[in-house]
Amino acid sequence: MLYQIHEWQRSFLGPLSYFAQANARMLNDHASPLSQWPGVQRMAAGFELIHRLGKDYEKPAFDIHSALAHEHEIAVIERVALDKPFCQLKRFKRFSDDPATIEKMKVDPVVLVVAPLSGHHATLLRDTVRTLLREHKVYITDWVDARMVPAEAGTFGLDDYVAYIEEFIRHIGARELHVISVCQPTVPVLAAVSLMAARGEDTPLSLTMMGGPIDPRRSPTGVNNLATTQPLSWFKNNVVQTVPPNYPGHGREVYPGFLQHAGFIAMNPSRHLSSHWDYYQNLLRGDQEDAASHRKFYDEYNAVLDMPAAFYLDTIATVFQQFLLPRGLWDVAGERVNPAAIKRSALLTVEGELDDISGLGQTQAAHDLCSGIPAKRRAHKVIEGAGHYGIFSGRRWRETVYPQVRDFIRKFDRATK
C-alpha cells in the first residue's frame, strides 16, 4: 500500500504546488497591482518554495544540442541506437561543416558511457557526456523507469544487466570501443567483459572504472554498512513495492524512486535544509543567478526512477552482502565470472579522495582481479578533494579527471595510433 499512499499524497500536493506557482508568478509580475503590496516579495518567495517542494520532477532531457570539438562549435543530435525494454542505448551524433574538423572527428575514439541504474536518470551524467564529446564519439546507456515498463516485458535482474552490456558492446563493436562505467555499473561491466574474454570474444580497447563497488569490503561506507547489517529479507519486506494501476508497469515489483530519494536526503538532511533556506533567501534578495543554480541542481537531483526489484535485490546480495566478484564465486547465467581472463583491454580506475559512497580502494580492487592485464596497460588515479560526484561532474571532472581519462583512452586507441 505504500506506493499507493504515495500516489494519493502526490495527487493531493500536485494542485497545491501549481496553485503556489501561480501565486508566485502573479506576485512577481510587475504589471500586477498585487506586486506593489508591502511584504509581497516574502509571500512570493514562500509560494515559490512551496511549489518546488511539492511539484513532480519528471526525467530531465540531456539537452545537448551543440559542443566544442577540436576548437570548433559543432551540432549534436541525440539518437536511439538500440531500444531494449529496460534501456535505450543512445548515441550523441556530432556534425560539422568544417572539413578539417570532420577529418579529426572521424578518428576520435568511440566511448560507451555506462550510467548507473541506482535511482537517478542517466541525465545525471550530462556533464560527463558533454565533456567527452570534445574528442570522442559518445554512446550512453539510458535506463528506463521500471514503472513505465509493462509487466509482460518480464523481470530484469543483475544477470540481465550484464547481458545488456554485452549486447551493447557487440552492437557498437568491441574492437574500436572504450567503456567508461560510473559507480554501480563497474561491477556488471567487469563481469560482462570478463565473460566475453573467457569465450574468446573481442573485448573493448580500454575499461575506465570510476567510483564503483568492485570490492565493498575495502573502506566500507554508510551505504555498505546498511547492506551488511540487514538481511536480504529486510530489503524485500521494507523497500520493495508494487507499481499501482496508473502506470504501464502496473503489478511490477520495484524499488520505488521516492524511497530512494528519501534515502538520498537522509544521508545529509541538514545540507538539503540549508540549501532550501538559502534558495528562499536568494529569492528575497532578488539573486536570480543563485536561485537558478538551485533549481537546476534539484531539477536533476529530485528526478528519480523506479528500479526493478529483482535487479536491486540481486545487487544487494551479490555485490554488497556476499562479495561474490572479489571472492571469485560469481556465476552469471551459469558462467563463472573470471576477470583474470581479460588480457586485451587496458584498465584505468578512478577514485575520489572524499567519496562517501564507494570508499577508497573499492574500485582499485579491479587491478587485483584483472591479473591478466599487463601492468603497463593499467593505471589508478585518486582525485584529491573529490567526492563521489566530483569525479564525473563539475569543474574537478572537467579540469582534472577528464584530461587523464582522455589521455589514457588515446594511449590505447587503435585509430589514434
* pLDDT band of 415, cuts 50, 70, 90: low
Flag the least confident range among 113-117, 129-133, 270-274, 378-382: 270-274
Does residue 101 register a pLDDT over 70? yes
The least confident of 9-23, 141-155, 329-343 is 9-23
State yes or no: pLDDT of 417 exceeds 60.
Answer: no
pTM of the model: 0.90
Name the CATH superfamily housing domain 66-412.
Alpha/Beta hydrolase fold, catalytic domain (3.40.50.1820)
Stretch 331-347: mean pLDDT: 96
Q: What is the pLDDT of residue 46?
A: 85
Q: Where are the domains of the chain?
A: 1-54, 66-412
In this prediction, residue 35 carries a pLDDT of: 64
Is residue 25 pLDDT above 60, yes or no? Answer: yes
Of the candidate ranges 163-177, 212-226, 257-271, the one whose mean pLDDT is the lowest? 257-271
Q: Are 157 and 253 in contact (CB under 8 A)?
A: no
d(CA 173, CA 202): 9
Least confident of 92-106, 203-217, 282-296: 282-296
- 233 in Cβ contact with 223 (< 8 Å): no
1 has a pLDDT exceeding 90: no
- Contact 79/91 with Cβ under 8 angstroms? yes
- What was the pLDDT predicted at 23? 79
Q: Is residue 194 pLDDT above 60, yes or no?
A: yes
Q: pLDDT per residue over 42-97, tens digit each? A: 888 888 888 888 777 788 899 999 999 998 999 999 999 999 999 999 999 999 99
* Least confident piece of the model among 118-122, 173-177, 285-289: 285-289
pLDDT of residue 36: 65
Residue 370 CB-half CA count within 13 A: 35
**Is residue 335 scored above 80 in pLDDT?**
yes
CA distance 56 to 114: 27
In which residue are the cell numbers 565493498 written? 216
The per-residue pLDDT of the chain, averaged, comes to 91
The predicted pLDDT at position 416 comes to 61
Tell me the one-letter amino acid at 398.
R
Percentage of the chain surpassing pLDDT 90?
67
Q: What pLDDT score was predicted for residue 179?
A: 98
Identify the band that residue 307 occupies on the pLDDT scale cut at 50, 70 and 90. very high
The phi, psi pair for 251, rounded to 5°, reads 95, -15
Q: How far apart are CA 222 and CA 244, in angstroms?
A: 31
Please report, to the nearest 10 degrees, the dihedral formed by the alpha carbons of residues 239, 242, 246, 249 taken in order: 110
Q: Looking at per-residue confidence, does 120 or 115 come out higher? A: 115
Decide if 147 contacts 254 (C-beta within 8 A). yes
